[in-house]
């Protein structure tokens, strides 16, 4: 049998239960414990989406589907999940890969757009683990895949389906707002590609679907004193409401699964704000383990495996 190859599939991670929220939040903050009020606020958001985020299960469904697709032609791949902020942490997963004798792997973060603060941090966590574990696994990291044709195809299909939720009359004046997680504005001073890549994905999807009216907004900005990238989705809603634009399809291009930032920040918070403003807001369905999206992940891994 030919040599076994691994995929290190990296995702954000999620607290398993409400009692794990404080530890999870502390990890996100690089070890600085948040205030008890901030922890309570976050717990409440998890309670509002049913007590738990579906991110963990969805990530595993994506991993299983990816492994099945990769092994369609040749039984050589094993897909490993490593999380950035919750178990199984990237480090534990790399230790497992070492134990299993994996020698070559593709490292892929489930975030299509590169920022030093997102994908860069996933890669850094993996590289640090490789050093600490003294592993010689050769991992080729994918830095971004925001313009991969199959990813754009899957996203465009989601937008087309989303448009069908509106009446033909509403569709004539509808605006699509593409969104992604905000980051602190200081990333601009590093010439970070994140904002450019987000606009490139949005533009490409808009062209494929033939959208004439679209905007881009950030969402889920942190509550810290430093400025975060804008415009914020909630401000855009206000602006559109003031201008009399009353139909809006939100497409979170920066996320590839249902989780807190989608289910709370868009489906509950933004939707409530939209209702107050008399706006009909719908959201495109998340990519999750949609076969078209899994086909995109498969192609990205295969294309990257050539450089291993």
Binding site for ligand FEC (CB under 6 A): 12, 14, 25, 28-29, 42, 53, 55, 111, 117-118, 181, 183, 222, 224, 254, 259-261
Output the smallest distance, CB 194 to ligand FEC, in A.
8
Nearer to ligand FEC, 192 or 245 (CB): 192
Output the smallest distance, CB 196 to ligand FEC, in A.
15
Nearer to ligand FEC, 193 or 254 (CB): 254
Nearer to ligand FEC, 146 or 174 (CB): 146
Output the smallest distance, CB 287 to ligand FEC, in A.
12
Nearer to ligand FEC, 148 or 259 (CB): 259
Nearer to ligand FEC, 170 or 290 (CB): 290
b/e per residue, 133-167, with b = 16+ CB within 10 A? bebebebbbbebbbebebbbebbbbbbeebbeebe
Dihedral over Cα of 248, 251, 252, 256: its sign: positive
Output the smallest distance, CB 4 to ligand FEC, in A.
27
8 in Cβ contact with 92 (< 8 Å): no
Output the smallest distance, CB 227 to ligand FEC, in A.
13
Q: Would you say how long the chain is, in residues? A: 308
Output the smallest distance, CB 150 to ligand FEC, in A.
19
CA distance 46 to 34: 16
CA distance 107 to 138: 10
Nearer to ligand FEC, 175 or 253 (CB): 253
């Amino acid at each position: 049998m030919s040599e076994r190859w691994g995929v290190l599939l990296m995702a954000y991670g999620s607290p398993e239960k409400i009692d794990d929220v404080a530890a999870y939040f502390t990890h996100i903050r690089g070890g600085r414990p948040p205030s008890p009020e901030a922890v309570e606020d976050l717990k409440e958001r998890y309670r509002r989406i049913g007590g738990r985020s579906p991110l963990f299960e969805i990530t595993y469904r994506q991993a299983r589907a990816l492994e099945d697709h990769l092994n369609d032609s040749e039984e050589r791949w094993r897909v490993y999940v490593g999380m950035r902020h919750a178990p199984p942490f990237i480090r534990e997963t790399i230790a497992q890969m070492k134990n299993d004798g994996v020698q070559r792997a593709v490292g892929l973060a489930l975030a299509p757009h590169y920022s030093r603060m997102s994908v860069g941090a996933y890669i850094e966590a993996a590289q640090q683990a490789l050093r600490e574990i003294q592993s010689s696994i050769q991992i080729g990291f994918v830095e971004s895949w925001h313009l991969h044709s199959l990813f754009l195809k899957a996203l465009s299909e989601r937008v087309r389906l989303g448009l069908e939720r509106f009446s033909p009359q509403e569709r004539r004046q509808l605006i699509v707002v593409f969104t992604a997680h905000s980051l602190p504005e200081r990333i601009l001073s590093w010439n970070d590609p994140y904002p450019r890549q987000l606009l490139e994905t949005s533009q490409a999807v808009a062209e494929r679907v033939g959208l004439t009216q679209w905007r881009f907004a950030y969402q889920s900005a942190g509550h810290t004193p430093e400025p975060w990238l804008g415009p914020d989705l909630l401000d855009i809603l206000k602006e559109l409401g003031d201008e009399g634009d009353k139909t809006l399809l939100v497409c979170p291009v920066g996320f590839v699964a249902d989780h807190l930032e989608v289910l709370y920040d868009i489906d509950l918070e933004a939707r409530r704000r939209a209702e107050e403003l008399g706006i009909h807001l719908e959201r495109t369905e998340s990519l999750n383990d949609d076969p078209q999206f899994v086909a995109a992940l498969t192609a990205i891994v295969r294309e990257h495996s050539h450089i291993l």
